[in-house]
Amino acid sequence: MVLIRKAEKTDYPKVLELIQELAVFEKQPDAVEITVEELIWESSTEPPLFYCIVAEIDQKIEGMALFYFRFSTWKGRTLHLEDLIVRQPSRGKGIGEALYCKVMEFARKHNVKRVAWEVLDWNQPAITFYERTGAKVFDDWRVAHMTEEALENYLLSQKSKNE
């Protein structure tokens, strides 16, 4: 039996392990910089910066989903699903879908106009699952990120341009 519940402060070491496991799965094992302390702090603000739910089997955390509100100029209030991960040995047991369903229930309860997330183009099992649930996976939109270092370099270049 899977228990889905709100993450508690004491869960965040396991949540971070899951985030790191996801980074390895996504072929970016060195990308995770966040700490347990930051997760605890940002989830404790009012309002919280993000929401996190965990999936437990026999009092052991086997998965989690982390999500937060965004605003779309086209739609209004939306929800962004940042991460949904289930430990490798526990995949295929319905845990991921149980977490996904809870996120969608949260979205409906909060009257969001859209739930959005990213999925890697090579993660066909996830794409198939999302499409089966009615989600549209776009091929024509690209995700853009600016790292902290790139941000600093850009702003420095703009400052020197304006001097």
Map 71-125 to HEC letters.
EECCCEEEEEEEEEEECHHHCCCCHHHHHHHHHHHHHHHCCCCCEECCCCCCCHH
Q: In the block, which residue shows the tokens 């910089």?
A: 33
Cβ(52)–Cβ(65) below 8 Å? yes
Q: Is residue 130 annotated as part of the catalytic site, yes or no?
A: yes
- Please give the Cα distance from 89 to 4 (Å, whole number): 18
Q: Which of 12, 51, 130, 154 is catalytic?
A: 130
- Please give the Cα distance from 8 to 29 (Å, whole number): 25
Cβ(36)–Cβ(12) below 8 Å? yes
Q: What angle do CA 141, 143, 147 make, to 5 degrees?
A: 165
Give the active site residues.
Answer: 130
